[in-house]
Amino acid sequence: MYALILAGGYGRRLRSVVADKPKPMADVNGKPFLEYQIEELVGFGVTDVVLCVGYLAGQIQAYFGNGSRWGARIAYAVERQPLGTAGALRNAHHLVPETFFVLNGDSYLDVDLADLLQSHLSHKSADPQCVATIACVTVPNAEGYGVLDIVSGERIVGFREKAETGVAAVNGGVYVMERTFLDGLQPNSVVSLETQAFPRAIARGSSLFAYRAPCDLVDMGTPAGYQRLQMWMAEHRV
């Protein structure tokens, strides 16, 4: 299996506490957050990791190199200018096979990747138009999250980005995707995954499904979130 990690953002909201490095390289209890993600992927049998990098990409490349230290093969898709979350994935189109994982580089979801993959393959077998399965988590207060509109238990029919409060199923930032989803994106264009690419895929007849992950979601995009992530990792990870 392959995995793409979105690791190219500026991290403006986190700049007050992580000023000299890209957000995925923020120190979490002694090592970069991105290292936890790579270790977890390798633990699930992912052999190839593509890091979608941009801002201060050289720091990430210098630290991880070719990935051999972690038992992986790491390649890099470098953005010469910010392309948005979907644009960054399209920039890595030539580096991935038909089916692959995608992870946000600024949040942690304690999800069973093997079960997520099996769920996606089941959806794909039943519905040839399936292009992605999104891990989602039910939270008591959806303020600040991307909310998923889900029907019939698993089919996603809409997205509401950071506009809801109260209990809702939110995007967990971990996906299984088909390369055909990337085929529908214009190269070298600035495109948001959540507000543009996913809704457009649904509009043109592609199918997206939800995988309900019974686990914790920790977003480190703000100073408060960064502190919560460090506490969570100290409590749950050795």
Three-class HEC string of the chain:
CEEEEECCCCCHHHCCCCCCCCHHHCEECCEEHHHHHHHHHHHCCCCEEEEEECCCHHHHHHHHCCCHHHCCEEEEEECCCCCHHHHHHHHCHHHCCCEEEEEECCEEECCCHHHHHHHHHHHHHHCCCEEEEEEEEEECCCCCCEEEEEECCCEEEEEEECCCCCCEEEEEEEEEEEHHHHHCCCCCCCCCHHHHHHHHHHHCCCEEEEEECCCCEEECCCHHHHHHHHHHHHHHCC
What does the pLDDT read at residue 61? 98
Query: Which CATH code fits 2-236?
Result: 3.90.550.10
This prediction has a pTM of 0.94
Average pLDDT score over the chain: 92
What does the pLDDT read at residue 163? 64
Low-confidence ranges of the chain (pLDDT < 70): 11, 15, 163-164, 237-238
What does the pLDDT read at residue 12? 73
What does the pLDDT read at residue 196? 95
What does the pLDDT read at residue 127? 97
